[in-house]
């Protein structure tokens, strides 16, 4: 009996969002099938990978990252090295140092860091805040202002501060806006609606619908990705058709599987391998459930995930 | 002279001046001489915004003047006056741009004149977010310098951006008012034409933040009306030029408030005469619908949810108000805006210092609110929050509601200076902040005069409560036009949707139809959305096409159809936070109900958690449903299967809680007295056989009914 292929065609397509300027742009989104369902429709744009560094440099990085960035004196040096990593499509600069409960760096200093990185590398750039809602609501607008014309993605606007960040990034300074919600399709949708009502062009919005390390409440994350993608494509839900970006490294490098030393748990084997495995496992799961881009840290993970993407499309 | 005459005269005068100035400039510099404002990509922003044309030299400016002239139509219609006003503003812009010829710097400290694009991008963000709640344009000369300074400072204290034009700048300087963009007081210039520099801000805001296409005048005015919360305060005397400019402001949606009384014509919401300059602030905010966020509650003790559970013992009690012993009540009343002075707090009767330590007294607090979207249905929703508001005050305890309240003030709170008016401050601040979508103005009256409280309780409070109860009783599924969705629980129960109707509250018991309605009004993009009920499919089980469409949409396609009144056919789903579960009991043709607090066994052989595992998760399970306690006595309770007559068993506690209302419904529907006496509980039976014996002995009506399956 011949095999009758039944194709699942959707009328909706996830929006394509261009990050960066000139030759070095990368496109997020643009798919109209479930992830890697190339048999339903050929994939025109593949999932993308970001490589992350932070304004804190190497101070709090694990040894394997110190080794990789050996010889880098400044954050700018690290940025230059990061963009050479095979498989990385964009650079992510995290301004963790701004956290009032941490180093509490001034906004001017952080903006200066962001500016020097943006000027030093000709590569699509994502700038993440320090995750303190109040600080980010002041910091990210200033970053948006300083990086005018670079078409960077600012992460993230949340329900509490979407107006400040959305108005600055989306309206005043014409950048891209990341909308972050906590693993709930309705919260994601509501935030997108609010951002739209603010007047921001929805074609410039990228979502982070929540992330977790595999095994750490990850099922919530997965089912949210799955449902968002399903509603976006299946119901052509305009307020969910933004591409999804998922910060993976942020979650995976701090869990015990990735950080417990070999002296403490010799039976678990090499700490570097474990950390990389966690990162790859989580990233692959996110990509196969709906993320259009993931943010990773280690070059080995990036190479592995990039080769998987390449093999599947 | 009519208002039209004044606008037209002013507009003609400005046109004449502009024409003269442009001609003189062309004569001096030639028609090819470049004209521009510094640091803007928007040419002459007002002219560019309205017409879509960029002006680069004097010759083009002359052409532009012709376009402005064409707007100055002279029919005596409102639109002619408005467009003449806009044209006057354009002329002002032309006059101002001439000042900048050859890179001149026509403005010097403290005046700013033209503002750069960068300033607008920077101010635009707080304007969009509401951190700058409004923009005041103050024009002319205040009656006294003190009046000018007081007015400017009142706006400054509210975070409102103030721009100054004319003599008011000198008046403020005289009084030492700190001015500059950093403190949000921007003196523009002393000529009346300098007002264009703030109009230019509004126009560029529309182009930058509103994505309005230059030349789309309709979209431009819509944007400035809806999104730029500006208003004008113009001091008397107003000459025709100012009146003409004012018409332009009104065309952009900015109301003009003035103390001029000569030759002025009041236009509701647009041209407002307020003779008392000290009331300019309040009048302006009301006219422009500007609401100021309250960040600090002005009380001498702390206010935080940490104090919500605080208990005040008798020995630490400075004074007590106890509604079970003396007359007390709390009440929200909707009033007309004109009856309310915002933030007025009145104490009628003795204050706490006049009471003996540990004594018991009467108290009543009435919160009067007004707002365009306020509905009297919300009164009880606000009132229910009072318990939490007052409890959050450090050293104050509150229990009960309506006229059965008890409030205790601790000795330490009293010593810290806590007095009656501070209750008003808390209620005012919380109501204004939490319900800002519907409350525009709010004032509080606190009565501690016992006689007055007694009188008001009977003349005002009790009738109001009775009226509300009657309204609740009359609220039936048939008497309303819409129901509401509630998808608050979708975070953990992704496909569940509650359809909240007047007779069927949310299954958690926390969301009644009125709550859902208020939530929808307060948070229009939130979890409670309107569901229409126009296309009935089956009256008996309560199925509607529009309800089905809504359920499908809100469950993201997981559910296709749902009935409101049946437990067997397409029952409503459950998330997991139901107060009660109702399940079919096959031996008696009835149903049993178990509440969450009940830890024992039910005649179905399942405990509450076991029943819950079958019922939750947003799936339809015929024969089982989750619901709120209040629903048990509803006439719509599984109406399709015969209604409450089917109830054969409930835990004793639950039975006692609902007995009064359930018996009343049973009496009304079936003429049965003391229905709950026929309903089993755990003291009678925990297994179906014993239960059946009991029901047979009592002659329970379910036994004679059709089998449910």
The DSSP string of B434-492 is: HTTTT-SEEEEEEE--HHHHHHHIIIIIHHHHHHHHHHHHH--TTT-SEEEEE-GGGGT
pLDDT at B617: 79
A158 CB neighbours in chain B (<8 A) are none
Q: Which of B307, B309, B326 minimizes the C-alpha distance to B416?
A: B307
Q: Are B121 and A145 within 8 A, CB to CB?
A: yes
**Is B300 an interface residue toward A (CB < 8 Å)?**
no
- Strands B363-370, B328-334: pairing is parallel
pLDDT at B590: 94
Q: Are B556 and A230 within 8 A, CB to CB?
A: yes
For chain B, what is the total number of helices (H) and then of strands (E)?
22, 23
d(C-alpha B183, C-alpha A205), whole Å: 33
Q: How confident is residue A62, by pLDDT bands cut at 50, 70 and 90? A: very high
Q: Are B525 and A190 within 8 A, CB to CB?
A: yes
What is the residue whose two structure tokens read 């229409």?
Answer: B532
Q: Outline which parts of chain B fall under CATH 3.40.50.2030.
A: 117-287
Contacts of B685 (CB under 8 A, 6+ apart): B603, B649, B691, B693, B694
Q: Which of A204, A211, A283, A271 minimizes the C-alpha distance to A243?
A: A204
pLDDT at A219: 92
H-helix or E-strand containing B28? Answer: helix B3-29
Give the tens place of pLDDT for each residue, B115-174. 999 888 888 888 888 888 999 999 999 999 999 999 999 998 888 999 999 999 999 999
d(C-alpha B592, C-alpha B606), whole Å: 11
Q: In the numeric block, which tokens belong to residue A73?
A: 């004196």
A197 CB neighbours in chain B (<8 A) are 525
Determine the average pLDDT of the residues in A171-189: 91
**Is B371 an interface residue toward A (CB < 8 Å)?**
no
d(C-alpha A168, C-alpha A175), whole Å: 8
Choose the weakest-confidence range: A73-77, B39-43, B48-52, B266-270. B266-270
Q: In the numeric block, which tokens belong to residue B567?
A: 């437990």
Q: Provide the shortest C-alpha distance from residue B342 to chain A (in Å).
A: 27
Q: Provide the shortest C-alpha distance from residue A205 to chain B (in Å).
A: 16
Residues in a beta bridge with B544: B536
Asked if ipTM goes beyond 0.85, one says no
Contacts of A22 (CB under 8 A, 6+ apart): A122
pLDDT at B310: 86
Q: Provide the shortest C-alpha distance from residue B618 to chain A (in Å).
A: 15
CATH 2.60.120.380 for domain B3-103, yes or no, is no
Question: Dihedral, CA atoms, B680, B682, B685, B687, nearest 10 degrees?
Answer: 120
Residue A168 DSSP class: I
Give the tens place of pLDDT for each residue, A145-177. 999 999 999 998 999 999 999 999 998 899 999
Q: Are A198 and B527 within 8 A, CB to CB?
A: no
Determine the average pLDDT of the residues in A198-227: 93
pLDDT at B491: 67
Domains of chain A, each with CATH number or no CATH: 18-312 (3.20.20.20)
Q: Provide the shortest C-alpha distance from residue B120 to chain A (in Å).
A: 9
* Ranges of H-type helices in B275-394: 280-287, 379-383, 386-391
d(C-alpha B363, C-alpha B677), whole Å: 41
d(C-alpha B195, C-alpha B96), whole Å: 10
Determine the average pLDDT of the residues in B614-640: 90
Give the residue from B124, B126, B129, B222 with the most A CB atoms within 10 Å of its CB, the best one to mutate: B129
Q: Which of B684, B680, B664 minimizes the C-alpha distance to B672?
A: B664
> Phi and psi of B346, rounded to 5°?
-115, 135
Mean predicted lDDT score pLDDT of chain B: 92
**Is B304 an interface residue toward A (CB < 8 Å)?**
no
**Is B622 an interface residue toward A (CB < 8 Å)?**
no
Instruction: Kindly state the percentage of chain A with pLDDT values over 70.
Output: 100
Q: Are A171 and B208 within 8 A, CB to CB?
A: yes
* Ranges of H-type helices in B30-108: 45-51, 58-71, 78-98
Q: Which of B447, B454, B429 minimizes the C-alpha distance to B439?
A: B429
pLDDT at A186: 84
Contacts of A87 (CB under 8 A, 6+ apart): A49, A302, A303, A305, A306, A307
Assigned CATH for B305-460: 3.30.1650.10
Q: A100-121 burial string, b = 16+ CB within 10 Å, else e?
A: eeeeebebeebbebbeebbeeb
Q: Which of A198, A301, A295, A312 minimizes the C-alpha distance to A244?
A: A295
Residue A24 has pLDDT above 90, yes or no: no
CATH 3.90.1640.10 for domain B580-704, yes or no, is no
Q: Provide the shortest C-alpha distance from residue B522 to chain A (in Å).
A: 14
Residue A255 has pLDDT above 90, yes or no: yes
Q: In the numeric block, which tokens belong to residue B151?
A: 């007015």
User: CA-nearest residue of chain B to A171?
Assistant: B209
> Phi and psi of B626, rounded to 5°?
-95, 150
pLDDT at B385: 87
**Is A216 an interface residue toward B (CB < 8 Å)?**
no
A204 CB neighbours in chain B (<8 A) are none
CATH 3.40.50.2030 for domain B117-287, yes or no, is yes
Residues, chain A: 313
Q: Are A227 and B494 within 8 A, CB to CB?
A: yes
Q: Outline which parts of chain B fall under CATH 3.30.1650.10.
A: 305-460
Determine the average pLDDT of the residues in A90-102: 96
Q: Outline which parts of chain B fall under CATH 1.10.8.190.
A: 3-103
Determine the average pLDDT of the residues in B630-644: 93
The Cα-based distances of B518 to A211, B153, B361, B376, B513 in angstroms read 33, 36, 34, 11, 9
Strand boundaries in B478-600, DSSP class E: 482-486, 498-500, 530-532, 536-538, 543-544, 580-585, 590-595
Residues in a beta bridge with B162: B136, B185
B122 CB neighbours in chain A (<8 A) are 145, 172
Determine the average pLDDT of the residues in B428-445: 91
Determine the average pLDDT of the residues in A27-34: 95
The closest CB to that of B125, out of A164, A197, A201, belongs to A164
Q: How confident is residue B79, by pLDDT bands cut at 50, 70 and 90? A: confident
Mean predicted lDDT score pLDDT of chain A: 94
**Is A163 an interface residue toward B (CB < 8 Å)?**
yes
Determine the average pLDDT of the residues in B595-605: 93
Give the tens place of pLDDT for each residue, A67-87. 999 999 999 999 999 999 999
H-helix or E-strand containing B648? Answer: strand B647-649
d(C-alpha B652, C-alpha A2), whole Å: 65
Residue B373 has pLDDT above 90, yes or no: no
Give the tens place of pLDDT for each residue, B215-246. 999 999 999 999 899 999 999 999 898 999 99
Residue B535 DSSP class: S
pLDDT at B268: 86
Residue B493 has pLDDT above 80, yes or no: no
The closest CB to that of A186, out of B121, B122, B490, belongs to B490
């Amino acid at each position: 009996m011949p095999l009758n292929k039944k194709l699942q065609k959707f009328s909706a397509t996830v929006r394509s969002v261009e990050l960066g300027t000139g030759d070095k742009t990368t496109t997020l989104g643009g798919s109209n099938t479930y992830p890697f369902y190339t048999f339903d429709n050929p994939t025109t744009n593949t999932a993308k990978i970001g490589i992350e560094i932070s304004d804190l440099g190497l101070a709090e990085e694990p040894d394997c990252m110190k080794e990789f960035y050996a010889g880098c004196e400044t954050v700018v040096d690290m940025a230059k090295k990061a963009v050479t990593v095979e498989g990385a499509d964009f650079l992510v600069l995290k301004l963790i140092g701004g956290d009032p409960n941490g180093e509490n760096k001034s906004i001017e200093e952080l903006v200066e860091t962001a500016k020097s990185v943006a000027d030093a590398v000709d590569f699509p750039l994502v700038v993440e805040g320090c995750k303190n809602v109040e600080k980010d609501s002041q910091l990210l607008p200033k970053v948006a202002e300083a990086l005018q014309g670079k078409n960077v993605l600012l992460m993230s606007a949340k329900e509490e501060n979407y107006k400040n960040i959305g108005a600055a990034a989306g309206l005043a300074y014409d950048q891209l806006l990341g909308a972050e919600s906590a693993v709930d399709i309705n919260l994601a949708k509501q935030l997108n609606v609010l951002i739209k009502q603010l007047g921001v062009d929805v074609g410039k919005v990228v979502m982070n619908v929540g992330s977790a390390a595999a095994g750490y409440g990850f099922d919530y994350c997965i089912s949210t990705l799955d449902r968002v993608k399903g509603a976006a494509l299946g119901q052509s839900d305009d307020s969910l058709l933004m591409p999804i970006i998922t910060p993976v490294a942020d979650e995976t490098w701090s869990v015990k599987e990735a950080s417990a030393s070999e002296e403490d748990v010799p039976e678990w084997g090499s700490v570097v391998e474990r950390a990389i495995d966690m990162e790859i496992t989580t990233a692959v799961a996110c990509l196969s459930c709906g993320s259009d881009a993931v943010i990773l840290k280690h070059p080995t993970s990036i190479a592995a995930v990039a080769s998987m993407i390449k093999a599947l499309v | 002279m009519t208002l039209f005459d004044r606008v037209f005269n002013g507009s003609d005068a400005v046109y004449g001046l502009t024409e003269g100035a442009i001609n003189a400039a062309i004569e001096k510099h030639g028609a090819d001489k470049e004209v521009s404002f510094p640091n803007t990509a928007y040419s002459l922003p007002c002219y560019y915004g309205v017409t879509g044309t960029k002006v680069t030299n004097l010759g083009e400016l002359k052409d532009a003047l012709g376009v402005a002239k064409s707007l100055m139509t002279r029919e005596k219609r409102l639109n002619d006056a408005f467009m003449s006003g806009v044209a006057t503003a354009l002329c002002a812009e032309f006059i101002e741009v001439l000042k900048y010829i050859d890179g001149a710097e026509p403005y010097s400290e403290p005046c700013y004149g033209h503002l750069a694009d960068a300033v607008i991008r920077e101010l635009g963000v707080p304007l969009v977010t509401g951190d700058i709640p409004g923009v005041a344009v103050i024009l002319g000369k205040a009656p006294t310098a003190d009046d000018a300074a007081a007015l400017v400072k009142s706006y400054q204290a509210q975070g409102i951006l103030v721009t100054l034009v004319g003599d008011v700048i000198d008046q403020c300087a005289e009084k030492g008012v700190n001015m500059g963009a950093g403190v949000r007081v921007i003196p523009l210039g002393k000529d009346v034409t300098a007002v264009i520099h703030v109009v230019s801000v509004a126009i560029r805001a529309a182009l930058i933040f509103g994505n309005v296409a230059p030349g789309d005048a309709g979209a431009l005015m819509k944007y400035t009306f809806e999104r730029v919360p500006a208003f004008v305060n113009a001091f008397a005397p107003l000459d025709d030029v100012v009146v003409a400019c004012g018409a332009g402001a009104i065309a952009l949606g900015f109301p003009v408030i003035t103390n001029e009384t000569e030759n002025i014509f009041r236009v509701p919401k647009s041209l407002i005469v307020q003779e008392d300059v000290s009331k300019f602030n309040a009048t302006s905010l009301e006219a422009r619908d500007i609401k100021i966020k309250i960040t600090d509650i002005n009380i001498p003790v702390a206010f935080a949810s940490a104090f919500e559970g605080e208990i005040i013992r008798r020995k630490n009690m400075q004074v007590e108000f106890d509604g079970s012993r003396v007359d007390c009540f709390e009440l929200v009343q909707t009033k007309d805006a004109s009856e309310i002075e915002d933030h007025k707090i009145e104490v009628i009767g003795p204050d706490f210092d006049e009471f003996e330590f540990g004594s018991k007294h009467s108290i009543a607090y009435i919160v009067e609110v007004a707002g365009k979207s306020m509905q009297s249905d919300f009164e009880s929703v606000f009132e229910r929050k009072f318990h939490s508001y007052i409890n959050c005050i450090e050293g104050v305890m509150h229990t009960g509601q309506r006229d059965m309240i008890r409030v205790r003030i601790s000795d330490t709170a009293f010593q810290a200076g806590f007095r009656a008016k501070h209750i008003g401050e808390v209620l005012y601040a919380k109501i204004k902040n939490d319900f800002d979508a519907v409350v525009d103005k709010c004032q509080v009256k606190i009565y501690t005069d016992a006689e007055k409280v007694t009188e008001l309780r009977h003349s005002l409070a009790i009738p109001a409560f009775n009226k509300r109860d009657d309204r609740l009783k009359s609220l039936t599924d048939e008497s309303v036009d819409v129901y509401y969705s509630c998808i608050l629980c979708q975070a953990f129960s992704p496909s569940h949707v509650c359809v909240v109707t007047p007779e069927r509250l949310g299954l958690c018991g926390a969301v009644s139809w009125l709550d859902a309605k208020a939530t929808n009004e307060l948070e229009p993009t939130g979890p409670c959305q309107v569901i229409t009920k126009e296309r009935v499919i089956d009256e008996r089980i309560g199925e509607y096409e529009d309800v089905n469409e809504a359920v499908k949409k809100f469950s993201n396609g997981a559910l296709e159809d749902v009935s409101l009144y049946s437990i067997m056919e397409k029952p409503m789903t459950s998330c997991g936070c139901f107060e009660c579960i109702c399940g079919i009991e096959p031996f008696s043709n009835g149903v049993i109900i178990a509440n969450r607090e009940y830890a024992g066994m039910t005649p179905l052989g399942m405990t509450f958690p076991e029943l819950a595992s079958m019922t939750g998760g947003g799936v339809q399970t015929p024969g089982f449903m989750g619901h709120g306690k209040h629903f048990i006595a509803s006439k719509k309770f599984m109406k399709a299967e015969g209604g409450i007559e089917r109830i054969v068993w409930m835990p004793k506690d639950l039975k006692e809680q609902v007995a009064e209302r359930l018996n009343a419904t049973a009496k009304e529907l079936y003429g049965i007295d003391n229905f709950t006496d026929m309903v089993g509980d755990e003291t009678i039976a925990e297994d179906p056989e014993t239960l059946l014996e009991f029901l047979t002995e009592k002659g329970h009506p379910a036994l004679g009914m059709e089998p449910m399956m």
